[in-house]
Structure 1
Amino acid sequence: MKRTHLPLNGLRVFDAAARHLSFTKAADELAVTPAAVGQQIRALEDMLGVVLFRRTPKGLELTPEADKGLDALRAGFLQFEESVRAMQSGQTSNSLTIAAPRDFTAKWLTARLAKYGTSNPDLQFTLISSDGEIDFTEANLDLAIRLTEGPGEHEGVRLGAGAFVRVGGPEGGATTPISWPGCPVADGSAALRLGDAGLAIDAAAIGLGEAVVPLLLAASDLDAGRIRAIDNSREHALAYWLVAPLPQWRQKKVKALVEALIG
């Protein structure tokens, strides 16, 4: 069934003018000119084919036709407000769904979510493993974390500078190159090929070889002495980015989480 096009702006002006029985007072409420109110009312009358107001010696008054539809109109506006509140309720919900690479979740994200959760005990996190593009709507995502050169089509912020470092075992070990998908200096002759940078860090930690990995991902293991840096870190275009489409990015709960993660 085809829905009738509703002149919502004109109806809003009509509601204000009907409450005040004055175009001037309606204009003050709506922050427009009295002439603009009159123009909207005339356009609405032309569309509906009815007269809404009459001028009398005592001032402006509603016609019977206008009065007959006013209660239903105001009830409709209340339903619109309820609808908007319902759609916005997710912004203040206690659930956040985040997509991130498995190794990033294990090496960096979970510890920070746990810390953030201590000051927000009602929060619930759902974590989805993802290394590439993901449909935010289909997955009902609030936020995603990607190793990429920028936010792409979404809104985003970078988590620190893009930097990579070569790491090995804390007491030496094999110098065998370790590769992983997406490694910016992948060695085609690498004897050890693993599924992600996190596994490469773990392999280096037990002396199986050397791996070039994101410094952000390796930082906690370096600080703990579990691995050692073989050379200085090098800047790179690849970095971890927090990204989301604009509607999700504007949500209060997402803004608060992003601020906590980059702080």
Structure 2
Amino acid sequence: MKRTHLPLNALRVFDAAARHLSFTRAADELAVTPAAVGQQIRALEDLLGVVLFRRTSKGLELTEEASGGLAALRTGFLHFEDAVQAMQAGQSSHVYTIACPREFFAAWLAPRLAAFRAANPQVRYVLVDGEMTDFTEANLDLAVRWTDGPGDLEGISLGTAEWVEVGSGDWIGWPGDPEPEGEGPEGEGEEAKPPIMVSDAGQAIAAALAGMGRAHIPALLAAGVAGNGRADLIGEAVACRRAYWLVAPVPQWRQKKVKELVAALTAGA
């Protein structure tokens, strides 16, 4: 019999009826009607091709066939319970796997993770570089992404949707800032692109600080620029569509351990 075709609900009913030797008491345990129990037992008997219960003057009795399979069935249910507990144990695990852009980790996330671990010494972190890392492939608990919303994931924004201009001169473009594409030299295609293209906000900041041009950078990263003694290069914060979002699929987002970390990271934000 294929595992995908196991009549698990009927087997659960059979186990309850076998323990009580009563459809009525089994129904009370399972919060169904005695008639529903009888239907499940008859359906299971039809599927297996055996009789499971015999009615006698003393009440229900298990047949030899039913008794022969009962011990293995109950062992199987115990294994199911062990499997569920093992899966739930991940919710109480103290290991967090987090994907985050490198520059955001250095400027914002690292000190907050350190504070959370100081209050919870049992916590361990696995940090993965990159915003778009796949949750399933990397077994992620959380990810930080520079985006205009959580999309299909659950999430919360970290700070406001703002960026600042850093540096001067030609535009430095990066994938998180599509605006310079319309502010480069007049023309179309390659001619309309900024003269300098980099791969992420961290490289945009480094290029601007090196005097290669000017770039839009997320406002949450501006403090790091000021800390380098280059506050004179930072412009005023202006609204934009994107912000840093802390995101996860619904199952991860609902886990107790994830809720605790999210609450700590966003406290006072």
- Residue by residue, what CA displacement relative to the aligned partner does 1:49-84 show, whole Å, maximum 9, x if unpaired? 111112222222222221121111111100111122
Specify every segment of 5 or more residues in structure 2 that has no aligned partner in the other structure, as ranges: 186-193
Cα pair distance change 1:184/1:24, threshold 3 Å: same
Query: Secondary structure of 1:243's partner?
Result: strand
Task: Show the counterpart of 1:245.
Answer: 249
Deviation at 1:192, TM superposition (A): 6.2
What CA deviation, in whole Å up to 9, does each residue of 1:182-202 have, x standing for no partner? 224325366765543334445
Q: How many residues align?
A: 255
Judging by fraction of residues, say which structure has more helix: 2
Matched, 1:27 2:44: no
Letter of the aligned partner of 1:154 in structure 2?
A: L
Encode CA deviations 1:134-183: one digit per residue, 9 max, x unaligned: 22222222221111112223232222331122346xxxxxx335524122
Within 5 Å, give how 1:17-166 maps onto structure 2: 17-131=17-131, 133-166=132-165
Q: Name the CA distance, whole Å, in 2 between partners of 1:193 and 1:3.
A: 54
Distance 1:221 1:24, change over 3 A: farther
Over 3 Å counting, the alpha-carbon distance change for 1:180 and 1:254 in structure 2 is: farther
Identity of aligned residues (%): 61
Secondary structure at 1:147 match in 2: strand
Call closer, same or farther: CA 1:196–1:7 in 2, change over 3 Å. Answer: same
1:254 alignment counterpart: 258
Q: Secondary structure at the match of 2:217?
A: strand
Q: Is 1:179 the equivalent of 2:172?
A: yes
* Aligned counterparts of 1:113 and 1:30: Cα–Cα separation in 2: 45
User: Are 1:205 and 1:227, in contact at CA under 8 Å, matched by a contact in 2?
Assistant: no
Deviates more, 1:89-98 or 1:207-216: 207-216
Mark the runs of 5 or more structure 1 residues left unpaired by the alignment: 169-174
Mapping of residues 196-215 of structure 1, within 5 Å: 196-201=200-205, 210-215=214-219
The two structures, once aligned, show a CA RMSD in angstroms of: 2.7
TM-score of the pair, normalised by structure 2? 0.82
TM (norm. structure 1) is: 0.84
Are the counterparts in 2 of residues 204 and 227 from structure 1 also a CA contact under 8 Å? no
Bigger Cα displacement from structure 2, 113-122 vs 246-255: 246-255
Residue 227 of structure 1 pairs with residue 231 of structure 2: yes
